[in-house]
Structure 1
């Protein structure tokens, strides 16, 4: 590749100069707060601006996880983010606002002592005063004994008292009689059941079973404190010494007046941390920490920490009460080195006999090693720093190049290129050859105190040594390059870089790592594998990578994480695989630098300490102190509002019309409460868990009446979940029109209406059917009248005419004989016609259907065929026309069986059921042809059609089936409300 590429892109010059400017002026200042507090702990403060009360003299934690503060304004409860003032159940004007003592009892209650005004007890959400006879003066201590018993130390001008509460009863165990009359300033119930009492002039030890205490020759003074350190050491502090208390007395272990800046004035407090060090708080002079196991170690003094109360919570955090509010010291593996200026480059590491880590700011270069820290001022601003063999450290500046050798001298050389451009990267090979990259110009090699340009390589921006005479380079417009004696070779074009713009180029072990804006790429000599920041957000803008033991430490724009090297390697082999990580420094707000061109922001020194270039400066991490908080946070529902009105948490029911709920909750992980996470669900509303993030409130609208269960769970800042959480239940009372009985009533009413409609429709259908029957009956009567008045009369007259003709014919003649025969037949027809007309008139009343069908059966089915009539149920009179229609259908069915079925037995069944009248004709013949069963008739035959039509007119149904065992079964079904006179639908009128 020739320089013509860069000459064709003059904007690249300006771009890279702008990037250099951003590197120099854009890196953040070191946070001076890191120089304060307690080394190994992250300090957080809450003052009145954050709602903290003033003059915190006592701290305790109840078993539910809440932190309690005894302050100059009374009792406060703290959940890690917010402070809540707890008002007494009854106001007492004689009671001080200043709380001097707190003690959490095993039963979950909290005992509260006041400067004057006695004591109180917080239990089940109420702060109630405790009436103790003759209790006057200031409560100096409340301590809990090994049996859960409570001791209260009180001192006043009227004398000293120690009250003892056990098994629900109070007793006074100590008065001024026989004991030093000077004021009582403290008491402590030891693990062995004994009681220690500190008076102004002496210390007393009460042993169970003895009536009088033993005096310990120690002057207690006014400010005292006790500490029971596991596994049993008991400590006592006054204004001058720290004593170890034993059965034999008190042994002075630490002369605090001899400690430089020692904490020996003001209110005292004692505490033991996880490392076994004893913290001694002195309100006026600072904080002293001392390791009892190493008497040769001098105390460590933090002059800027002024506390009057100390407390260690269930997670190991140390809390301090101060005049200004509350302070927390969270155990941290991180220490930020205090340096002047802004970071302008990554880290370099010198190996050999004098290992050190180098960092550059706009003020100069810092060297940090076991021997201490050294500073080298530079003429220009450092833009890159690198190291090589033999302890060589090289830096580039806008004023020239700098060599740091033997921590004694800084040698300034001329710039690699004197056209006003600075080198943005340097590399030192294993042969000691130094190279610098000047963007848009070229790469220069240091030879015999002069610079020689590498003609075979162009002006790339970033270079990293890859062996003798070889480099790996990155140029934003081009991509990743390999540079060797043959020239430049593109490893990965820019548009193929899955990790985005490259910020980190580093060889670690057998792999090359390329950290970019969008992830991390690994190259094993054969293939490139990339973990995308879209899948692994902690790899966004990867700026540094270091391997220590079995873990890989990575810093990106989102902070520092620790990951198992094995898990990381598996992810490179199978991108997308879940990788567990441990975030480091989020509580302290440590993030990666986001405005760098090339970074190398993670190193491991010879002592196994990790170093990172961060947004707050150079951070050192002690990997042995990195631990995950595995303690799940207690979870509590804190508030419950319905339609804007507050209710108790344990409310059983909510009023009718409640549609909106607002439920507050908290997870009491106090290490970093702002990063606690929550999940919740409301039964009947949420199909699954709702991810609440760090939001501590759930809101529901549009709720209906019913029974509900609300459950919330929480995770601490390290992602450890309390999967049980808290569940509350409640009922939203319905309006009367929302109740089940009202709904049932509506259903009943609707059902009744439907039944009424059905009955009305049934009656209407019945009336319509009967009206049709009545019409037919009227038509029959009309036909009968017409037949009688016209046809029969005419027929009768015609017969008379034929009779007169007969008389005129000679007797014995053939014509007369024929006429007489015709007249005889005419008489028979006339008689039959009159009978039929009579039948038309008589078939208007109720008919006994069984008798009618019996006659029909005998008339149609004659021997040798066997016939049988079966009747079931209580017979009812049937409307004449219905009976006639049934008779005609049955006649047709019987006739068909006789003529076509070749049957031997025909059975006629009649059943009077409650809703239906059933008539069944069955035979044991050959059965109906298939075509007849499918189509319902046969061409040229209309018997079956007529049977169906008659049944349809009656509102009944006709079914033809194969009879079990052979033959045919014809089933007639007619609703009784239509067929029978006295049916439930009503009688015929």
Structure 2
């Protein structure tokens, strides 16, 4: 059965091939990127006579319906109602003072300066009628052409006729880079004026094509371009020659010139479109290439490199993004969707559409296959062009093999895994592999072998196949990336953990790094130099995850085709830093094809990159691609109060005529709701301008990037504020310095400095007055109180003296009573012969005497509450020395007692302790020794803590006697008295006796 199928197709193969391509159907020309504005978008009139870009980068348009100013988004129109002398505007010019001059076709000249118009007509020296062209010389004088001669401005603001020229109808004029004045006339050719010497150049004495001159311009190299009603002439090195145009089948009426940033000269042809000359060859652009009309009246190039085109009756157009050229109009093929794209060995581009059409590109023209072997409506998914006349075509109805010898069709009946075939690729062994909706198939020696997936018995959808530089096949499946092993598809283990599904495209760069695109999953990079593969999504820099096609070009860029745009990724940056540095191309910056079809990107030997899109075929020209590095021109349009426009002049402010904004703006505290209306002029793509702003004094942080052109601040407190504004252009370049505007909000009268000063003076005066009154009252009260205090003090002193006298009397009487006791003890001792009893009575007498000494000291001194311990201890010792018949010559007394005073109770207690310890020393320490030392020392150990030491260098205490447990009354008394002082006593028997009392005195 297969043999019969081949037989029916092999015989007519060569005839069919020749028939398909020998009758190519012509297609329309290439499409370029044009934007258009007409009356619907705000133009006052559709005939554009002249275009001017001013110093603020705004466009000014001369129309027959008035003057229009365009900022890239909106038009503002000026007519006679705003002060023009006529709505018929013929020409425009901006002088060195930045004033705009407007030449009308019927009512003289108009000067525009800061929204004010000044009219120049016959009263100012100009002839009746209009002005056709305006220039300025190096001295600042204006020169204008009229139907009655050439005029120049004088220092008195009047215009004077230049009489060196004859009275003709003059159309245009220009100064050459060398300072010569060139003037074109309507019927008498060209005039050159140098040092007031006039030379007339016509068809009779030069190569001038015709004597009717329409426009004069010069390029960056100094070449003078002269446009006439019948062609172009150029002047180089003072030599005029006719510039031959390539299209001789029409009469070229040249209306204007412009010179772009690429070194091209553009020639406006009134009825035949635009002619671009790059120094070597010409390119003609007409309605077939995207122009709205072939009637071009004027041209200009803006500072960003865009070409602006004024038409006769079709409004304004902009030519931008020349790096993209499109093939969208396929003649009889309506709404062409290029679903297959391939390149032959000779660099020829082949394409197929989703409704079965196929074509190849020859000399910039698509030639369509007239006779197709597949049924109508078949979707072509992929092509593999093996040679000039041999190819495989993958469709939704199987695979077609076309060669000069045969045309063969393979489908499921032939052994193919599925009729839906997405892509095909050869391997190093000469086999052809097919990615189908039901797995992968290998075609070898006329037979198909279908590959199963190892981990799943059910077939999987295979979207793409890629044969890398090592002849290794990679398969992109609906559930990941696979490779062939033992006639089965096995997943690539390195990539499994990403869980990337619907792998639609695979690519490889010159270093062998592999790239895998997952639709709605992102981009996976497998680089052996990295520790592990990396996934790029929107979260880490990939602008779009809807990947349908991947391709690495010759300059090491990865092209990522998505459903909404195309992305160019710089691979050197990606592999070096692990980050994404990309340029996104959308319809706004030239990529009008929008959605890129699956695996439809290729690059031809001439360096052009081709894309199959939902609208047709798009070509990218790398050498023309330039980033727009011109920053947006920032303008602060207005300042609104409470979101309402404000007439600042009516509020008494001095307004800057250039900006329309008030100078030295000082708002009241109630005018604290401020809105800034701003705009950044970016003519390449105004919709993609982004802004950041902040109000210093209110918020030091910049806002997030936004496309909003209003910034509102409410409830501002009094103070000084500065509004700062930054803008980003369509290619991501931010203005280096912000636009600033400083204003202030004046505090209310009760918060102003002078008011606060006056208020402080009043408050201060009031306080001083109150203080003085209070001071007088206090003085009187203080005097009265002092008198009362003095009286009470005298009373208290008298009572105190009385108490002191009473206390002294009491101490005196106590002392006397104690002396009586001592005397009685002495009398009694005379009648006692028992030595032990005498010793007891002597001890009691010494104890009583120590107390009597204390009271004696108290009534002899003024301070009745405290006693001096050193003097007290000395008197006690003297009494004991006398009682025991001891003198200081025998036992030297050393007192080391600091000058401290204690209360009576503590003094009595310490005196009794010293009395006992000294008595023991005098009785026992020096019985066998004639001389000795008795030392009493008082030391401060801490806060209110003291140590009292009574020591001698006598014979010491006999061994075996424990003083702490002694039954002696004296020692028991000492121990008891120590506890009264919250202390403890310790005894030491080393080189004599040493008794140390540690105690605490009450604070």
TM over 0.5: yes
Number of the residue aligned with 2:170: 184
- The residue matched to 2:43 in structure 1 has which SS? coil
Note closer, same or farther for the CA distance 1:562–1:490 as it changes in structure 2 (3 Å cut): closer
Number of the residue aligned with 2:554: 548
Q: Note if 1:253 corresponds to 2:258.
A: no
Q: Note if 1:724 corresponds to 2:737.
A: yes
The answer to whether the Cα contact below 8 Å between 2:83 and 2:117 also exists between their aligned partners in 1 is: no
- The residue matched to 1:570 in structure 2 has which SS? helix
Kindly provide the CA deviation profile for residues 105-155 of structure 1, in whole angstroms up to 9, marking residues without a partner as x: 233221111112211222244332246224321111112335554211112
Aligned-pair CA distance for 1:637: 1.4
Number of the residue aligned with 1:272: 259
Aligned counterpart in structure 1 of residue 663 of structure 2, from 651, 665, 676? 651
CA distance in 2, matches of 1:784, 1:297: 128
The answer to whether the Cα contact below 8 Å between 1:71 and 1:98 also exists between their aligned partners in 2 is: yes
Kindly provide the CA deviation profile for residues 552-574 of structure 1, in whole angstroms up to 9, marking residues without a partner as x: 33333453333432112124xx4
Note closer, same or farther for the CA distance 1:731–1:199 as it changes in structure 2 (3 Å cut): same
Q: Note if 1:673 corresponds to 2:686.
A: yes
Aligned counterpart in structure 2 of residue 195 of structure 1, from 167, 181, 189? 181
CA distance in 1, matches of 2:720, 2:554: 55
Number of the residue aligned with 1:317: 306
The answer to whether the Cα contact below 8 Å between 2:434 and 2:465 also exists between their aligned partners in 1 is: no
Aligned-pair CA distance for 1:714: 1.9
Aligned counterpart in structure 1 of residue 366 of structure 2, from 353, 356, 373? 373
Whose Rg is larger? 2
Larger deviation: 483-492 or 674-683?
A: 483-492
Note closer, same or farther for the CA distance 1:491–1:756 as it changes in structure 2 (3 Å cut): farther
Q: Superposition RMSD on alpha carbons, in Å?
A: 4.7
Number of the residue aligned with 2:536: 531
Note closer, same or farther for the CA distance 1:343–1:724 as it changes in structure 2 (3 Å cut): same
- The residue matched to 1:608 in structure 2 has which SS? coil
CA distance in 2, matches of 1:505, 1:766: 103
Stretches of structure 2 that go unaligned for 5 or more consecutive residues are: 1-26, 649-659, 806-861, 869-897, 904-937, 946-978, 982-1003
- The residue matched to 2:755 in structure 1 has which SS? helix
CA distance in 2, matches of 1:783, 1:588: 106
Aligned-pair CA distance for 1:310: 0.8
Aligned-pair CA distance for 1:342: 5.8
CA distance in 2, matches of 1:927, 1:583: 95
Kindly provide the CA deviation profile for residues 29-69 of structure 1, in whole angstroms up to 9, marking residues without a partner as x: xxxxx978x86x52111112211232221111122222211
CA distance in 2, matches of 1:109, 1:927: 104
Aligned-pair CA distance for 1:751: 7.5
Q: Note if 1:104 corresponds to 2:106.
A: no
User: 1:235-634 to 2 correspondence within 5 Å?
Assistant: 235-245=225-235, 250-254=240-244, 259-260=248-249, 263-264=252-253, 268-291=255-278, 293-294=279-280, 304-322=293-311, 323-338=313-328, 339=330, 340=333, 347-353=340-346, 355-368=348-361, 372-376=365-369, 377=372, 378-379=374-375, 380-382=377-379, 384-387=381-384, 389-390=386-387, 392-405=390-403, 411-415=408-412, 422-440=420-438, 442-447=439-444, 449=446, 451-454=448-451, 459-462=459-462, 463-466=464-467, 471-476=473-478, 478-492=479-493, 496-497=497-498, 501-509=502-510, 510-516=512-518, 517-524=520-527, 527-542=532-547, 543-557=549-563, 559-571=565-577, 574=578, 577=579, 579-588=580-589, 590=591, 599-634=598-633
The answer to whether the Cα contact below 8 Å between 1:437 and 1:459 also exists between their aligned partners in 2 is: no
Number of the residue aligned with 2:21: none
Number of the residue aligned with 1:45: 36
User: 1:566-965 to 2 correspondence within 5 Å?
Assistant: 566-571=572-577, 574=578, 577=579, 579-588=580-589, 590=591, 599-643=598-642, 644-646=644-646, 647=648, 648-656=660-668, 657-744=670-757, 931=943
- The residue matched to 2:700 in structure 1 has which SS? coil
Note closer, same or farther for the CA distance 1:53–1:221 as it changes in structure 2 (3 Å cut): farther
TM-score for the superposition, normalised by structure 2? 0.66
- The residue matched to 2:623 in structure 1 has which SS? helix
Note closer, same or farther for the CA distance 1:465–1:60 as it changes in structure 2 (3 Å cut): closer
Note closer, same or farther for the CA distance 1:247–1:774 as it changes in structure 2 (3 Å cut): same
Number of the residue aligned with 1:971: none
- The residue matched to 1:694 in structure 2 has which SS? coil
CA distance in 2, matches of 1:498, 1:453: 25
CA distance in 2, matches of 1:315, 1:673: 12
User: 1:111-190 to 2 correspondence within 5 Å?
Assistant: 111-130=101-120, 132-146=124-138, 148-155=140-147, 160-165=148-153, 170-175=158-163, 179=166, 181-190=167-176
Kindly provide the CA deviation profile for residues 88-108 of structure 1, in whole angstroms up to 9, marking residues without a partner as x: 79736xx21111110122332
Stretches of structure 1 that go unaligned for 5 or more consecutive residues are: 1-33, 793-855, 863-895, 902-925, 934-938, 942-989
Aligned-pair CA distance for 1:775: 7.6
Number of the residue aligned with 1:214: 200
CA distance in 2, matches of 1:486, 1:122: 81
Note closer, same or farther for the CA distance 1:271–1:431 as it changes in structure 2 (3 Å cut): same
CA distance in 1, matches of 2:754, 2:939: 57
- The residue matched to 1:693 in structure 2 has which SS? coil
- The residue matched to 1:96 in structure 2 has which SS? coil
Note closer, same or farther for the CA distance 1:522–1:91 as it changes in structure 2 (3 Å cut): closer
Kindly provide the CA deviation profile for residues 652-694 of structure 1, in whole angstroms up to 9, marking residues without a partner as x: 1243111111212222221112212222221111212223422
Aligned-pair CA distance for 1:311: 0.8
CA distance in 2, matches of 1:386, 1:927: 115
Note closer, same or farther for the CA distance 1:786–1:297 as it changes in structure 2 (3 Å cut): closer
The answer to whether the Cα contact below 8 Å between 1:116 and 1:137 also exists between their aligned partners in 2 is: yes
- The residue matched to 1:566 in structure 2 has which SS? helix
Kindly provide the CA deviation profile for residues 505-533 of structure 1, in whole angstroms up to 9, marking residues without a partner as x: 23444122111223211224684222233
Note closer, same or farther for the CA distance 1:89–1:927 as it changes in structure 2 (3 Å cut): farther
The answer to whether the Cα contact below 8 Å between 1:555 and 1:592 also exists between their aligned partners in 2 is: no
CA distance in 2, matches of 1:134, 1:469: 81
Aligned-pair CA distance for 1:428: 2.9
Aligned-pair CA distance for 1:932: 6.2
CA distance in 1, matches of 2:294, 2:135: 26
CA distance in 1, matches of 2:731, 2:471: 46
- The residue matched to 1:691 in structure 2 has which SS? coil
Larger deviation: 752-761 or 366-375?
A: 752-761
Larger deviation: 375-384 or 532-541?
A: 375-384
Note closer, same or farther for the CA distance 1:299–1:545 as it changes in structure 2 (3 Å cut): closer
Note closer, same or farther for the CA distance 1:614–1:50 as it changes in structure 2 (3 Å cut): same
CA distance in 1, matches of 2:365, 2:349: 9
CA distance in 2, matches of 1:728, 1:193: 41
Aligned-pair CA distance for 1:617: 3.0
Aligned-pair CA distance for 1:546: 1.8
